[in-house]
Structure 1
């Protein structure tokens, strides 16, 4: 990708600096800094979804052999059966078989894998303890929820680099500690902490990457983040395959070792120049400016002038805010509409739209993580299935990008969820009625991948669609609440595997049903493509009335809505 394309400068302007871009011009410095951030984003999926392999529950496990076998040798009329969670002793009568003793697995369990292959086999998380393996994965998602609540505010206060560095360094320390854990409680605590730190890496990494790009090409940042997230999961599959004959602890150490860069991160990664300028960190900012000028072969004084102007502007804004706080209210004071979460609940139309979006977020999160976590239980090689399951995410993101250029957000939501619901319903039916037919089973796996492809595209779209549905002063809160609801789906998703073992057709039926419900709800959602974003609650109320529901008629632009409000 050409430097001029990313920086937004034409070839004729290549010798000048962009006064609105704090780094002056795109160059080697930004490429190197983005590479560091992307490398860390590559591993964010490791600690989140590593449980797919290290907590894998092998099929065919049963109770280990006990001393009952001695009885069967002494008495040919007795025989013992070893089931998954029970041992049964039968007496062979001439007329019938009689159960004379039934007990639990007295001598532990026998597995098709080595004892230390996974957490499940090593700690015997089966039978009445089976749910504990799923709890470990849920704790990671709970940690994510906690981390998301604090990471952004901490990075705004202490700096992006500080929080990012601490998160990656602590991930390395606690990730390695997991490999040496000898009991379940310690493991559970460490998993929760790693979930918190994972969000620290994701949130600050995303912001660091975003603030390195010029405004005109900032959308490249989001694309890179999605690319490296998926690529990390793709890389994880072959690594797990190569280490399948070793203890799960070695896989934990290997994947955590990707965080070892944090040991030298302090010296190779710089703080966001935008954050330094806004917060008046002159000394640190000039050090970064000197480094940028050297790497990108720019004039130090020219670049310093741009940063000085940015700092002066930030200082002026702070002074104006302070003056407003201490000045008396005048009659000509502009009234700013202050909105909170309460406004979402109080306003009927906004609340209904919000509930629809909350359900959509839960559906997408539950379906996406449910399909990812259970991909290793599909027919065929579990490593290949996981690899293919994450590879199709590339296709989903490409389709989303193409459709965003020509279709509306609501239309894309309808398409993606229709495909997901249909694919998963077909996959469930084929698997349930296959009766051992290999073509039917393989077709079931393929349709499951199609469902994963489309739900990935839908999930990525939600971040854009949701933000566009709320007025300016409520947009961040609206997106934050919706994202919080998605965590609910993520926390529940690990238990999908347990449900599938009891009722094989249930997960696919639930996923497809929820997707079809979203399709119906989406018909009522406003279309946001090609329309000005609403700024006030009054605009939103009129906007929803004009563009929501089965009427599906073309809405009015914000200028037209304002005319309606003036008339009223």
Structure 2
């Protein structure tokens, strides 16, 4: 077995060839970002009221304005109801049939939608308003469930066939499921196809992340952070597609074509040498490593290969398979795992909550989405330049507090504005600041989790964290829905949970400038040292051995993300 980091020491951890490969595979972030945030536009909030024929027939009632129709038909401003008088008694052009003292009744003739700024949305096409609004929320949650499914299924596939072909399969699936979604003839099929769009697009993004981290060694912080920047580029492109394609089917069709350029890029992307080496395919790994060296204008000698060889006993230890349950057996690791899971859950919940709420913010929906994305890039750049200076623990805590207090201040300003435009604008600004915090949290939590755990459990740890994140993202549309009943509640939930996560962040050990542990025993000793326990090392080792004696070997493949 070859330790690829030793080879990277020789040929460069981020040479020009790795940069070239990173830019090629970063393309996966664009369709992933587009599909993840597309509901901001295809299900954008629209104005509507009950259809009330013949009163809203402009041929029969040419002098009746929209404001007058609303006044004659909508009780107490609730557009899910109309006055319950008999519309069949209306004889144009007379309005004597109007009875504004009649009891309210639900819309019985369908709905009339305002076609600005979008000529068609899924809400318009399938009447996902009023008592059917929950169906739209469930569809969005089902999409996030697809992201979880993609992470699990493709995690096994990536270990089996490699990163390169896994990304290619995900690209094909993203293209097919996305285009099919644009032609879905009924809502149930639309939901299923969106689910598969999530499965494939998220898998492509995740294993793009795995790929760039594996080929860039100790530069993984930089390249890992900018996988999120690529995602953000797709996120922001939603505004461009939606601006030019106001019908949701056109919008979704054209954004679904974005995976196509990667089919050309695929031929320039080799398999990850690290994957070859970890699977005992040393000759294939060496062949690709020589290609890395040649393009970086470096050389690999036989002495370099001998130095990179891992002793058989060490290789056997590192290749032993563990299950995710092993994360909860050592005492300190168990506490860190629960804390990590909560951080992932809150980060995803607030990230998608703020992203999906762009249409509800004051101002232009296209600009708001662009600004949300711009704030995200600010967060990523800030983390890039400070993560190796301030440390992961300090930075994660700062970002959690930033997103938490921003959410609370934003909702306070909106609730107290009473029509004051300056306060409303300030509320929007703080929502954007919260986006900086949650984007930063997302960038940090990926790297921090990988560094907190030993090599033998690292994939399982990030996988558990990602599963917790999916719980947060699945719940975010339902939390946003609460604003229809209590306007201030969603942002208060986001704010309070973020502040709690920030407080718990102080309990993490710092990993900056620390050697990442290889085994579970090394990890527990690292945690103990970080927490400055007075317990003797021998006693601690006894606890670790006792915990691991109760562990069991698992043949389960390591599921990443």
Deviations 1:485-512 (A, max 9, x none): 1110001112233211221100111111
| Contact persistence 1:367–1:493 (CA under 8 A) | yes
| Contact persistence 2:17–2:296 (CA under 8 A) | no
* Matching residue within 56, 59, 80 for 2:73: 80
Q: Does 1:146 pair with 2:141?
A: no
Report the counterpart of residue 502 of structure 1 in structure 2.
Answer: 485
Question: Would the alpha carbon gap of residues 190 and 88 (structure 1) be closer, same or farther in structure 2, given more than 3 Å must change?
Answer: same
Question: Would the alpha carbon gap of residues 267 and 531 (structure 1) be closer, same or farther in structure 2, given more than 3 Å must change?
Answer: closer
TM-score, normalization by structure 2: 0.79
Q: Does 1:125 pair with 2:125?
A: no
Report the counterpart of residue 105 of structure 1 in structure 2.
Answer: 107
- Structure scoring higher RCO (CA < 8 A, sep ≥ 6) equals 2
Report the counterpart of residue 225 of structure 1 in structure 2.
Answer: 227
Distance 1:24 1:533 in 2: 20
Q: 1:120 Cα shift?
A: 1.1
Question: Would the alpha carbon gap of residues 182 and 313 (structure 1) be closer, same or farther in structure 2, given more than 3 Å must change?
Answer: farther
Distance 2:488 2:462 in 1: 33
| Contact persistence 1:353–1:525 (CA under 8 A) | yes
Report the counterpart of residue 259 of structure 2 in structure 1.
Answer: 259
Deviations 1:414-456 (A, max 9, x none): 3222222221111111101111110000000001111111121
Question: Would the alpha carbon gap of residues 184 and 321 (structure 1) be closer, same or farther in structure 2, given more than 3 Å must change?
Answer: farther
| Contact persistence 1:30–1:212 (CA under 8 A) | yes
Question: Would the alpha carbon gap of residues 420 and 207 (structure 1) be closer, same or farther in structure 2, given more than 3 Å must change?
Answer: closer
| Contact persistence 1:151–1:200 (CA under 8 A) | yes
Distance 1:242 1:335 in 2: 52
Distance 2:502 2:230 in 1: 30
* Matching residue within 379, 383, 396 for 1:396: 379
Q: Does 1:199 pair with 2:198?
A: no
Distance 1:200 1:243 in 2: 27
Report the counterpart of residue 484 of structure 1 in structure 2.
Answer: 467
Distance 1:361 1:391 in 2: 22
| Contact persistence 1:539–1:561 (CA under 8 A) | no
Q: 1:394 Cα shift?
A: 1.8
Q: Does 1:161 pair with 2:144?
A: no
Q: 1:183 Cα shift?
A: 0.4
Deviations 1:38-65 (A, max 9, x none): 222232211121111112121x311112
* Matching residue within 216, 235, 240 for 2:242: 240
Distance 1:219 1:49 in 2: 25
Question: Would the alpha carbon gap of residues 31 and 411 (structure 1) be closer, same or farther in structure 2, given more than 3 Å must change?
Answer: closer
Report the counterpart of residue 42 of structure 2 in structure 1.
Answer: 54
Distance 1:20 1:426 in 2: 47
Report the counterpart of residue 51 of structure 2 in structure 1.
Answer: 64
SS in 2 for 1:257: coil
Query: Which structure 1 residue ranges, 5 or more long, are not aligned?
Result: 1-7, 9-17, 92-96, 325-333, 549-554
Deviations 1:11-69 (A, max 9, x none): xxxxxxx95579789776545433321222232211121111112121x3111123578
Q: 1:199 Cα shift?
A: 2.6
| Contact persistence 1:55–1:120 (CA under 8 A) | yes
SS in 2 for 1:100: coil
Question: Would the alpha carbon gap of residues 515 and 272 (structure 1) be closer, same or farther in structure 2, given more than 3 Å must change?
Answer: closer
| Contact persistence 1:424–1:511 (CA under 8 A) | yes
Query: Which structure 2 residue ranges, 5 or more long, are not aligned?
Result: 62-70, 87-98, 544-561
SS in 2 for 1:524: coil
Question: Would the alpha carbon gap of residues 169 and 283 (structure 1) be closer, same or farther in structure 2, given more than 3 Å must change?
Answer: farther
Report the counterpart of residue 434 of structure 2 in structure 1.
Answer: 451
Distance 1:279 1:173 in 2: 31
Q: 1:101 Cα shift?
A: 4.5
Question: Would the alpha carbon gap of residues 492 and 564 (structure 1) be closer, same or farther in structure 2, given more than 3 Å must change?
Answer: same
SS in 1 for 2:256: helix
| Contact persistence 1:139–1:195 (CA under 8 A) | no
Distance 2:293 2:350 in 1: 47
Alignment of 1:378-457 (within 5 A): 378-457=361-440
Distance 2:327 2:112 in 1: 54
Deviations 1:302-349 (A, max 9, x none): 77x77x986x999x879x58997xxxxxxxxx9999865444445554
Report the counterpart of residue 558 of structure 2 in structure 1.
Answer: none
| Contact persistence 2:406–2:431 (CA under 8 A) | yes
Distance 1:496 1:57 in 2: 16
Deviations 1:195-227 (A, max 9, x none): 1102321132223333443x3434432133122
Distance 1:63 1:387 in 2: 33
* Matching residue within 21, 39, 46 for 1:33: 21
Which stretch has the larger CA shift, 509-518 or 97-106? 97-106
Report the counterpart of residue 96 of structure 2 in structure 1.
Answer: none
Q: 1:543 Cα shift?
A: 5.6
Q: Does 1:513 pair with 2:501?
A: no
